[in-house]
Each structure stands twice: as C-alpha cells, then as structure tokens.
A = this chain, B = another copy of it.
Amino acid sequence: MARTQGSHSDVTGPRIRAAAQSLFARHGYAAVSMRQIAAEVGVQAGALYNYTPDKQTLLFDLMKQHMDDLMAALEAQEPLNDPLAALERFTRFHMSFHLERPDAVFIAYMELRNLSEDHFVQVEALRQRYEAVLADILREGQGQGVFVLSDVAVATRAVIAMLTGVTTWYRDSGALSQNEVEEVYWQMVRGAAGASQV
C-alpha cells in the first residue's frame, strides 16, 4: 500500500480531465491555459504532460469519451418496434443524457473547430452514427404512415437541435422538473413529426 509521496498516477489523470472539462466549458478551450488546469488540480503545469502529450489531445479525449458514453448508453437500450414509442424514448433519452452532462455537451458543440483535422473526423463519425439512429426511427414511422415528414434528414437535425437546446437554459433550480420539461418537449417533437393528434 506504500506509495511514493507525490505519486498519484491513478487519481491525477481523472482529476486533470475533470478540471479541463470544467474550465473548457466555462471559458472555452483557447482561453484556458495548461497552468490554469494544473492549478485547479493542485499540481505544476509540467506534471500535466505525464498524462497528455499536448493540450489538443486533452480536448479530443474529453470529446471522444463523451461521444463513446453517448453511443454506449443509446445502444444499451432494447430496440422498440413501435415508431412512436421509439421516438418518445429517444426524446427522453437525449434530453436526460444531455442535461446530466452540461459541461461535456457544451464542449462537444462549441469546440469542434479546435480539433485537429484527424480528431474532428473521428468525432464527426460518432455524431453521424448517433444521428442515424433517430433518422431510422423517423424513416420507419414515415413508412408506416405514423409520421408525416417532408424530409427525414432535415427533420432529424431539426429535432436534435431542438432537444439539445434545452441545455442552454434549463437549471435544476428552475420552476420545472426535468421530467416536466421532457414532457413539454416530447409533445412538441410528436407534433413536429406530424404524428396524429391525440
């Protein structure tokens, strides 16, 4: 159990990523220095380079992890045959997943332009895989006549933009519970998809 004093490889790594995530979300990747991250963790700037080759890779690791978590959570769900039920579940899943991770979400949407070309391609591929799940639901419902949409690809992006937008204003301290907000958005998504009114 003895450990060399000042040596914490298993705990410093996660703390660095947590500090970077919080600072990047608050001030933006370009505005945050490696020294600020180090200060937040309680180490000197040089120590960070034991955990990341450079600042750019630190950003990519955060975004990659977020997208991997998102896909894993989505794919852990059992498939649903009913398109309306599948759309409702996707809506609630997207909202709750994003509301639980405001910092990671903020970074994922705001810092894409600060990724290197290679890193961007990887993140973008994951984003498209995610989008495709919703597109499949909408296309299936369209085929069954449950939804009325003039363009499934456009509708997919419109729904995701609408749902993700909740992260810009929702606060736990507000008037509505997360569940109540999900309900409001779900009614709007259902209407936007052209599902017949109840």
A-side residues, CB < 8 A to B, are 26-28, 30-31, 110, 113-114, 148-151, 154-155, 157-162, 164-166, 168-169, 176, 181, 183-185, 187-189, 191-194, 196-197
Within 8 Å CB of A197, what residues of B? 148, 194, 196-197
**Chain B residue at minimal CB-CB distance from A106:** B113
Contact (Cβ within 8 A) A188 B30 = no
Contacts of A114 in B (CB 8 A): 28, 31
Closest B-chain residue to A26, C-beta based?
B113
Given contacts A161-B161, A161-B168, A162-B165, A188 and B27 within 8 Å (CB-CB): no
| A193 neighbours in B (Cβ, 8 Å) | 188, 191
* Pair A165/B161 contact, Cβ less than 8 Å: yes
Q: Which residues of B contact A158 (CB under 8 A)?
A: 162, 165-166, 184-185, 188
Q: Which residues of B contact A157 (CB under 8 A)?
A: 165-166, 168-169
